[in-house]
Amino acid sequence: MRLRVAGAVLLSAAAYYVYLPLPSGVSEPWKLMLLDALFRSFMQASDVAHALGLCHRVHLLNRVVNWMEAIEAQPCAAVHVADSTLGGVATRVFQPQGGRRLRRGVIYFHGGGWALASGRMRSYDLLCRKMSEDLDAVIMSVDYRLAPEAVFPDQYHDALAASRAFLSPQVLQRFNIDPERVCVSGDSAGGNLAAAVAQELGSDDSVTVKFKLQALIYPVLQALDFHTASYQQNQAVPILYRPVMVRFWLQYLGADGSLEPLLLANNHSALDEPAISAETRSKLDWTTLLPRGHRKHFQPVLKEIGSPGVVGRVPALMDVRAAPLLAEQGILGRTPKAYVMTCEFDVLRDDGLMYARRLQDAGVTVTTDHYDDGFHGCMVFAFLPMMSSVGQRSMNGYIRWLDQNL
């Protein structure tokens, strides 16, 4: 009897910890709750280890992720897989087996807040294998340096160096990649890097081979407004909570973590911040850039008086290499045809939608792929053990678009 009571108590406690009120439209809510409970456990453990001075919270998280997810480069019947370097940056290469014909090529940057994850993770490995096989394409998944050891612009420089090498005649010839059929892509923080690389190389006249496409998966693109409609709507929706995204930004930019409350309140971008011009504010004005259906009932949080000087302490907040949404129209207009995936239950939804609108206004052909039941990170949960329905649909939609356009 006592064992039954103890079991019931433990089960109730576990259910209480796992249960989280979620929006009614989110895909497979119980799967997302279980995933979130796992993530929260790891993050809380890493916060404790950090507070005790045992290790940096990111180091513990990455150890857990690598222990659970990292796999060796194992070739299969359809795809040859090998770890290599690209422009001096560690890269996992996926190349279809057999034949010497020219193939399509994609360089891919993984997500993880510029601090976590790797192309060696099982989820990214499986994604790139499927892309390589379904598209008969060479996929190069880049392992750029991570925070806290590396901070902006290190990750950007790694992405740019790998991309320049990817487009070089030597690499294109070695891997039989068609120079007319190359794409830069990435998800979340990797989508940020892909967008920044597309801007830089699109405007560089010394680059002879240009990307034909840019494919951005729920990208993070700005750090001046943490109260867009999607940040307000989804601030407590897993797996990317609003405070976590702010923490990732501060780590990436090498800024003091004590600034987190200021950024969460939008004090860093108040009207008394002289470094932010009206023109800059217009580039992320979601009240004009978003359709009414996405703005809903939400109102901007724009402080008259804030904490002037934050931008001076963290100038990368205004650097287009870190925040591609702030780029000039002329720069955007020289980037390639674009695919932008967004998810309804994602704090970053509006970053992607605003960028798609600004690209269109600059004359770029854009396909927006929005998932009404999607959540942040869903595409990499297309495989077991999670095997999310929206993950599978979003992955298949992404690969289908590449197949039709690359």
pLDDT digits (tens, 9 = 90+) for 256-278: 999 999 999 999 999 999 999 99
From 231, 241, 357, 232, select the one nearest 288 (Cα to Cα). 357
Q: Residue 368 above 60 pLDDT?
A: yes
The Cα–Cα gap between 144 and 160 comes to 10
Q: Are 139 and 108 in contact (CB under 8 A)?
A: yes
For 315-364, the DSSP string reads GGGG-TTT-GGG--HHHHTTSPEEEEEEEEE-TTHHHHHHHHHHHHHTT-
Q: What are the tens digits of pLDDT across the range 202-254? A: 999 999 999 999 999 999 999 999 999 999 999 999 999 999 999 999 999 99
With a cut of 70, say whether residue 4 has pLDDT above it. Answer: no
Is beta strand 103-109 parallel, antiparallel or unpaired with respect to 177-187?
parallel
Instruction: State pLDDT tens for residues 6-44.
Output: 443 333 345 546 778 899 999 999 999 999 998 888 888
Catalytic residue among 294, 376, 388, 394: 376
The pLDDT of residue 245 is 98
Catalytically annotated residue among 346, 350, 351, 369: 346
Distance CA 119, CA 83 (A): 10
Q: How far apart are CA 155 and CA 161, in angstroms?
A: 10
Establish whether the linkage from the previous residue to 239 is cis, with ω within 30° of 0: yes
- In the block, tokens 């200021």 appear at 262
Q: Name the more confident of 214 and 57.
A: 214
Residue showing tokens 């190359």: 182
d(CA 133, CA 96): 6
The reply to whether omega before 148 is within 30° of 0 (cis) is yes
What confidence score (pLDDT) does residue 56 get?
A: 86
Nearest to 127 by CA among 113, 114, 115, 110: 110
Pick the catalytic residue: 27, 118, 123, 188? 188
Handedness of CA 171, 173, 176, 182 (dihedral sign): positive
> Would you say residue 5 has pLDDT above 60?
no
pLDDT digits (tens, 9 = 90+) for 77-124: 999 999 999 999 999 999 999 877 899 999 999 999 999 999 999 999
In the annotation, is 346 catalytic? yes
Q: Which amino acid is at 155?
A: Q
Residue 184 DSSP SS3: strand
130 has pLDDT over 70:
yes
CA atoms within 13 A on the CB side of 129: 21
Per-residue pLDDT, 19: 79
| 272 is known as an active-site residue | no
Q: In this structure, what are the phi and psi dihedrals at residue 186, rounded to the nearest 5 degrees? A: 175, 165
Rounded CA gap, 129 and 248, in Å? 28
**1 — pLDDT class (breaks 50, 70, 90):** low
Is 258 a catalytic site residue?
A: no
- Terminus-to-terminus CA distance in the chain, angstroms? 65
Rg of the chain over Cα atoms, rounded to whole angstroms, equals 21
What distance in Å separates the CA atoms of residue 180 and residue 178, rounded to the nearest whole number? 5
Owner of token pair 């929006």: 23
Instruction: List phi, psi (to 5°) of 148.
Output: -90, -10
φ/ψ region of 110 (left if φ > 0, alpha if ψ in -120 to 50, else beta) reads beta
CB 183 within 8 A of CB 166: no
What does the pLDDT look like over 315-332, one tens digit per residue?
A: 999 999 999 999 999 999
Q: Hey, what domains does the chain have and what are their CATH numbers? A: 25-406 (3.40.50.1820)
